[in-house]
């Protein structure tokens, strides 16, 4: 029995889609649906640049507005591979590894291209950990991140490790800017959707042994083990830029938010309370500096 190639593609773990010379999507496999959240019906015959995946690169520049590997392959026929962040239908950003190849007719002319993309995150390990925490009532009901209680317990452990072994550990406090305006202008259901979008962006772009949790309201805390000051600042800035480039769609409008972030490292003698107080002060310094920025302890830069 000969299988249709689309039956084969539908059983791959990688997302696969075909475009023509105008970059209109002509095929979208099941894995593409699962990774992106967009169904075939929502994307077929639409240009891939039409607010679907909206890839951004490592600097969070929009690839649809310049530097798109798919577009470049349509022009020169070269195969390409790169890392990027796609826009999930629910709004958050997912790191992916993408590969682009040309499609040619029998004469060798380029008639389109195929992009294959796979999740480049450690979501499987993270999801398993979240499931275990949920059984212990340590997960925030809305965002499914670690809740405040679990963050406090973990931070106490990291403080003890600092005193005993001097193991480096970074702490981030991330606050959504002008979140009250989202609730007041669009309603609490949209506000909840925005909280979940930010939560999933942070979670999808963290390491499996980091802990990302909701501290309360529109505040999130990240506990980053074995991370020095420079890497901590770079990670905070990555989170900030990815959230800034993410959005949810509300009545045809792409709604965005930004983050103000405080960053510090645990010091000998720190308690969970003292570390979080210091990080809170740094976060408010970011607010005073105009928001949408990161403030880190000078001593740990």
Residues marked active site are found at: 218
Exposed/middle/buried for 180, CB within 10 Å: 0-12, 13-18, 19+?
exposed
Strands 259-265 and 294-296 come out as parallel
Query: How far does the chain reach from its first CA to its final CA, in angstroms?
Result: 63
Tokens for 293, please give them. 């920025």
- Closest among 84, 123, 60 to 292, alpha carbons compared: 60
Length of the chain: 301
Q: Which residue has the tokens 């600042």?
A: 233
Q: Which residue has the tokens 């496999």?
A: 29
How far apart are alpha carbons 296 and 286 in whole angstroms? 9
Proportion of the chain in helix, strand, coil states, percent, rounded to 5: 40, 30, 35
Tokens for 117, please give them. 């993309």
Tokens for 278, please give them. 């210091």
How far apart are alpha carbons 25 and 155 in whole angstroms? 47
3-state secondary structure of 175: strand
């Amino acid at each position: 029995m000969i299988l249709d190639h689309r039956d084969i593609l539908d059983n791959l773990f990688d997302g696969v889609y075909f475009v023509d010379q105008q970059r209109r999507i002509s095929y979208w496999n099941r894995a593409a649906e699962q990774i992106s959240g967009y169904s075939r019906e929502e994307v077929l015959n639409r240009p891939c640049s039409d607010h679907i995946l909206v890839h951004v690169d490592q600097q969070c520049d929009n690839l649809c507005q310049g530097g798109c590997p798919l577009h470049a392959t349509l022009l020169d026929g070269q195969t390409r591979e790169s890392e990027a962040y796609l826009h999930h239908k629910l709004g958050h950003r997912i790191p992916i590894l993408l590969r682009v190849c040309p499609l040619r007719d029998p004469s060798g002319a380029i008639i389109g291209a195929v992009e294959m993309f796979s999740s480049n995150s450690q979501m499987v390990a993270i999801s398993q950990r979240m499931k275990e925490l949920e059984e212990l009532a340590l997960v925030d009901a809305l965002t499914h991140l670690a809740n405040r209680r679990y963050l406090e317990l973990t931070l106490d452990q990291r403080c003890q490790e600092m005193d005993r072994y001097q193991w480096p550990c970074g702490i981030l406090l991330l606050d959504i800017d002008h979140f009250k305006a989202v609730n007041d202008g669009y309603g609490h259901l949209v506000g909840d959707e925005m909280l979940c979008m930010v939560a999933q962006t942070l979670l999808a772009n963290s390491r499996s042994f980091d802990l990302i949790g909701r501290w309360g309201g529109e505040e999130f805390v990240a506990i980053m083990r074995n991370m020095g000051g420079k890497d901590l600042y770079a990670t905070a800035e990555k989170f900030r830029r990815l959230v800034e480039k993410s959005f949810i769609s509300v009545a045809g409008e792409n709604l965005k938010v930004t983050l103000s972030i405080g960053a510090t490292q645990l010091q000998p003698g720190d308690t969970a309370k003292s570390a979080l107080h210091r990080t809170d002060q740094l976060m408010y310094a970011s607010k005073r500096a105009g928001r949408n920025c990161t403030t880190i302890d000078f001593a740990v830069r």
